[in-house]
Amino acid sequence: MADEILTGEGVALEVNAASVIARAGAWLIDAVTTGVVLLALPGLLIAEIGVDRYDPAMATAIVYALAALVFLAAPITVETLSRGRSLGKLVFGLQVIRDDGGPIRLRHAAIRALVGFFELWMMLGGLAFVVSMLNDRGKRVGDFLAGTYVARMRGAKATLPPLFLPPELTGWVQVTDIRPLPAGLALRVRQFLARAPQFPPPVRYRLSLRLAAQVELFVAPAPPWGTYPEPYLAAVLFERRRREQAAYDRSAPRLARQLAGIGDLPFGVPDPD
């Protein structure tokens, strides 16, 4: 199942939900890694504690500590810090993301790990496999509860077309006052312009009218009489970005001069290096 996710930079990424086979392969790699850790850690702990102090009570404590560390603490930490990528997922080019396309947080990783202990380890992956086969995104129970799914990120391509300035509006944008647009509105307009050819003509026209009415609150004067809303939106976004780039270019030399001496010590004190 292909999804289009709009990032915070206004870039649309096409991602595909990972197949059940790919997820199983990634989990198998993680399971082998977990097994190696489970086999190696007890010996290291016994060597550290000492054989003479090792007794059944100590063995029980070690078993519970290892279970909590390997099956809960480790996957929660890894998925949180890597934003949804374990060793197996890195090998297969997979990543856990939220249903809205954002990166997962500690809460999502914790729910996935807690539920995964039962559906992946206690049930040997049987429940996870059956549930994953019954939905388009291959989500297991932990994904449903956490609001996440595993996507294939390898090879994702940016599909947002570049902004353009309609020639008939070149003179108008040069004398136009464009106030800062809300970030959400600017992203919606960019997303609409990228997807406009996919909409039926009546829907496309209604959406462009609705967005143009929202943008008009931040633009003056109005465009020339008879301008269609879609070219109007394209011209506003193009000119907005051009002015932001021009402002950055003007400030870049001053910023470079300020940063040039940022490492110098004040009052002519020589650098000890």
Residue 255 sits in which domain range? 167-260
pLDDT for res 9: 41
Query: Residues 225, 128: one domain?
Result: no
Tell the burial category of 128 from Cβ atoms under 10 Å away from its Cβ (0-12, 13-18, 19+).
Answer: buried
Query: Residues 217, 140: one domain?
Result: no
Query: Residues 177, 117: one domain?
Result: no
Structure token pair of residue 12: 């649309």
* Number of domains the chain contains: 2
Secondary structure of residue 71 in the 3-state scheme: helix
Residue 19 included in any domain: yes
Rounded Cα distance, 13 and 6, in Å: 6
Give the residue from 152, 179, 208 where a domain finishes: 152
Rounded Cα distance, 31 and 10, in Å: 37
pLDDT for res 38: 80
CB within 8 Å of 220: residues ≥ 6 apart: 176, 177
Query: Residues 222, 112: one domain?
Result: no
Residue 172 included in any domain: yes
pLDDT, averaged per 10 consecutive residues of the chain (273 residues), comes to 49 69 90 85 67 66 80 90 89 87 87 91 87 87 91 63 87 90 83 86 90 92 90 92 86 76 61 58
Residue 71 included in any domain: yes
Residue 30 included in any domain: yes
CA-to-CA dists, residue 55 to 43, 47, 58, 130, angstroms: 14, 13, 5, 41
Query: Residues 189, 231: one domain?
Result: yes
Query: Residues 183, 217: one domain?
Result: yes
Which regions of 75-198 does DSSP assign to beta strands (E)? 94-98, 148-152, 177-178
pLDDT for res 210: 92
